[in-house]
Amino acid sequence: MFKRKPADSPRTETEDLRFEVASQLQLTWWKFRKHKLAMFSAVIVILLYLTAAFGEFIAPYGGITTNSKFVHAPPQTLHLFSEDGFGLHVYGYTMERDPRTLERIWTVDSSAKIPVGLFVRGEPYKMWGLIPGDLHLIGPKNPGDPFFLLGTDRIGRDVFSRIVHSARISLTVGLVGIALTFILGILIGGISGLVGGRLDDAIQRLIEILISIPTLPFWLALAAMVPITWSSLQTYFMISIILTLLSWMGLARVVRSKFLALRNEDFVLAAKLDGCSNWRLITSHMLPSFMSHIIASVTLSIPGMIIGETALSFLGLGLRPPIVSWGVMLQDAQRISAIANYPWLLTPAAAIFITVLSMNFLGDGLRDAADPYQS
């Protein structure tokens, strides 16, 4: 009869077992690690969100603290060394009066030295509105001294502090939108891909119509309809929803095409022949296959939302004071005279630029790493 042959000997014990037992998550991580730019961007993004979380601690001043004395003060550069040796410090201001307008004009005076410290006591705050404290990451050693790393605006508010506080709003408005996009995208894309037929066609045509709508005018129109009397929190959520309405389509299409492709895979058929219900097929067998793609896709749509919110607020139709966001800050930079005379008012744009760029690189890295089985 038939002889029993010894089994294939699978890899020897001396081999590296890590690869073999690595789950999909670990393989994705290893592949992501190789993408240096994405790793670097991931660090930046983490720092940005930490800033958003601990804004009160990181910023020297509050987001709406005014200082009527130091209006339109230029930025003070941080120095490490002086004639007296090592020590953080900035230079103080001298004031002149403009002869025609009688406005105060501040310039940095290199003779006046203001010592700066880390973890100093300063303006009191309530972290997240709950925990009181007055410790700041960086600030003047004498609480009364002016410390404006990026200058001040037209009512004496510290631009640097406001940028830090804005991070919380600008970076999270995107997140609420993302959560909504995620749910809508998977639901609609999933139904479209799985049910197929006429329903799929109808949904696809709807998506095509929606994609053709120019986003900015649409957002403006909806934002203009938000009542002024609404509280800042309500406005915040409403803006998030508005931003989501036109951004779930991309994800829905990705989800649909993945479902369509997976439907015909042998392992899905094998699971069906095992007796899996449709629900189990979707959740246990198909979704895990492309969850990483979804995450990558979603990460890549966050920048769009951040820019959307910025655009709306810049035009005065998004968030309004007392909420501070980068878009709101950029409203002050709308006049040529402002930019020409006080260019530091544009620094929020740099913050947006860095955020969007690092999110894009991160999303790219995630998308490339998402399928660890592709070379």
Q: Which residues bind other proteins (CB under 8 A)?
A: 1-11, 15, 19-24, 27, 34, 197-198, 201, 265-267, 269-276, 280, 285, 288-289, 373
Cα-Cα end-to-end distance for the chain: 44
| Min CB(361)–other proteins separation in Å | 20
Nearer to other proteins, 34 or 154 (CB): 34
| Min CB(298)–other proteins separation in Å | 19
Q: Are 61 and 146 in contact (CB under 8 A)?
A: no
| Min CB(5)–other proteins separation in Å | 6
Buried b (16+ CB within 10 A) or exposed e, 235-247: bbebbbebbbbbb
Of the candidates 246, 367, 240, 360, the one whose C-alpha atom is nearest the C-alpha of residue 303 is: 360
| Min CB(16)–other proteins separation in Å | 10
Q: Crossing angle of helices 24-33/347-370, nearest 10°?
A: 130
For residue 71, the cross-strand partners are none
Nearer to other proteins, 5 or 100 (CB): 5
Of the candidates 17, 325, 47, the one whose C-alpha atom is nearest the C-alpha of residue 165 is: 325
The DSSP secondary-structure symbol of 11 reads S
Q: Are 370 and 296 in contact (CB under 8 A)?
A: yes
How much of the chain is in helix, strand and coil states, percent to nearest 5? 60, 15, 30
Nearer to other proteins, 175 or 291 (CB): 291
Nearer to other proteins, 96 or 201 (CB): 201
| Min CB(266)–other proteins separation in Å | 4
| Min CB(24)–other proteins separation in Å | 5
Ramachandran quadrant class, 197 (left: phi over 0; alpha: psi -120 to 50; beta: rest): left
Nearer to other proteins, 15 or 103 (CB): 15
Of the candidates 198, 240, 203, 204, the one whose C-alpha atom is nearest the C-alpha of residue 222 is: 240
Nearer to other proteins, 79 or 272 (CB): 272
Nearer to other proteins, 9 or 212 (CB): 9
| Min CB(122)–other proteins separation in Å | 50
Residues 143, 24: Cα–Cα separation, whole Å: 52
| Min CB(9)–other proteins separation in Å | 6
Inter-CA distances, 312 with 32, 308, 325, 361, Å: 34, 6, 11, 25
Nearer to other proteins, 135 or 276 (CB): 276
In the chain, which ranges are E strands?
79-82, 85-97, 104-127, 131-140
